[in-house]
Amino acid sequence: MSGFTTAFIGAGNMSRSIIGGLVTSGFDADSIRASNPGDGPFAELRKIGLTDLAHSNVSVAETADVVVLGVKPNLIREVCEELSPVLGANHLVVSVAAGVAADSIHDWLGAKSEVVRCMPNTPSQIGGGATGLFARSSVSAENRQRAEDIMRAVGIVRWVDDESLLHAVTAVAGSAPAYFFQFMEAMIDEAQRMGLDAESARTLCAQTCIGAGRMVAEGDVEASELRRRVCSPNGTTERAVMAFSTGGLDKLVSKAMQDCYARSEEMGRELS
């Protein structure tokens, strides 16, 4: 499956998650290769069938159709300039680096390769990711599809027409798992103070989060209506939700997301 070869520059957690998703969804392991400064990730990648593993970024990228930049944002320029001599107009470069503009990547590559930026999140590690994608106007329909195929292997994808909207994607998806983890942490702690054992508190909280998420994702009812349906008049849920409202939960969520958005913009200016 795939019909194209993909090289991952950097074999960190996100790259390994995407690679694992590709292999699980039917991509031929022989069509995937990866580079990394150290050998640490290679043992895990060999277990899922990858054999083309190297320390040289150039050696894995020069004959690939798609190059996924999975290195830290502060290393993107250095890596792009290293790969520039071996990448041409037919190459698709997909960057998962937060904040680094597609135009900057295109320029550092010598204004040759087609560039797509994506904003994935950590649930991609278990195939439950949510990714925003943006393509420069020069990217062909075929390469847009290739980028989508790669990221769809680890979850859902949504395209944005304006690159600045990736800041919003960061606020609602890229950084958002941490919001839920913090909320769940507080719930689990309180459940234990109420007397539940740690395993029960954790399992009940996690399953409730999964179930509520599925109801929003798989149904056709808005989250606000689902909330209303659970809140029986003068019942337990209504009392809890009133406490959230009185405490300013909506404003707090808004402030957190606005701060996340602003920091994403700042990173873009710093890195590009």
Domain with residue 193: its CATH number is 1.10.3730.10
In a domain, 19, yes or no: yes
35/116 same-domain check: yes
Q: Rounded to whole angstroms, how far apart are CA atoms 189 and 116?
A: 41
Residue 1 counted as domain residue:
no
Contact indicator for 14, 70 with CB cutoff of 8 Å: yes
**What is the model's pLDDT at position 226?**
97
In a shared domain, residues 95 and 214: no
The count of structural domains within the chain is 2
Same domain, 101 and 225: no
| Residue-level pLDDT at 90 | 83
Q: Residue 61: give its domain's CATH number.
A: 3.40.50.720
CA dist 154 → 30, 83, 89, 219 (Å): 19, 26, 27, 21
Tell me, yes or no, whether 182 and 239 share the same domain. yes
Structural domain harbouring 64: 6-164
For residues 134 and 20, state if they share a domain. yes
pTM listed for this prediction: 0.90
Per-residue pLDDT of the chain (272 residues; tens, 9 = 90+): 568 999 999 999 999 999 999 999 899 999 999 999 999 999 999 999 999 999 999 999 998 999 999 999 999 999 999 999 999 888 999 999 988 999 999 999 998 889 999 999 999 988 999 999 999 999 999 999 999 999 999 999 999 999 999 999 999 999 999 999 999 999 999 999 999 999 999 999 999 999 999 999 999 999 999 999 999 999 999 999 999 999 999 999 999 999 999 999 998 888 87
Is there a domain that residue 169 lies in? no
In-domain check, residue 155: yes
Q: Establish if 171 belongs to a structural domain.
A: no
What is the pLDDT at residue 125?
86
Q: Are residues 213 and 259 in the same domain?
A: yes
Q: Are 57 and 137 within one domain?
A: yes
Residue 2: its pLDDT value, please? 64
d(CA 177, CA 14) in angstroms, rounded, equals 14
Residues 6+ apart with CB under 8 A from 270: 99
What does the block give as tokens for 216?
Answer: 């929003």
CB 94 within 8 A of CB 43: no
CA distance 25 to 120: 18
Is there a domain that residue 59 lies in? yes
pLDDT at 225: 97
Which among 43, 44, 47, 45 is positioned nearest to 7, based on CA atoms?
45
Are 233 and 254 in a shared domain?
Answer: yes
Does 76 lie in the same domain as 190? no
Of the candidates 164, 191, 214, which is a domain's last residue? 164
* 93/155 same-domain check: yes
Both 125 and 89 in a single domain?
A: yes
Same domain, 157 and 182: no
> Is 70 part of any domain?
yes
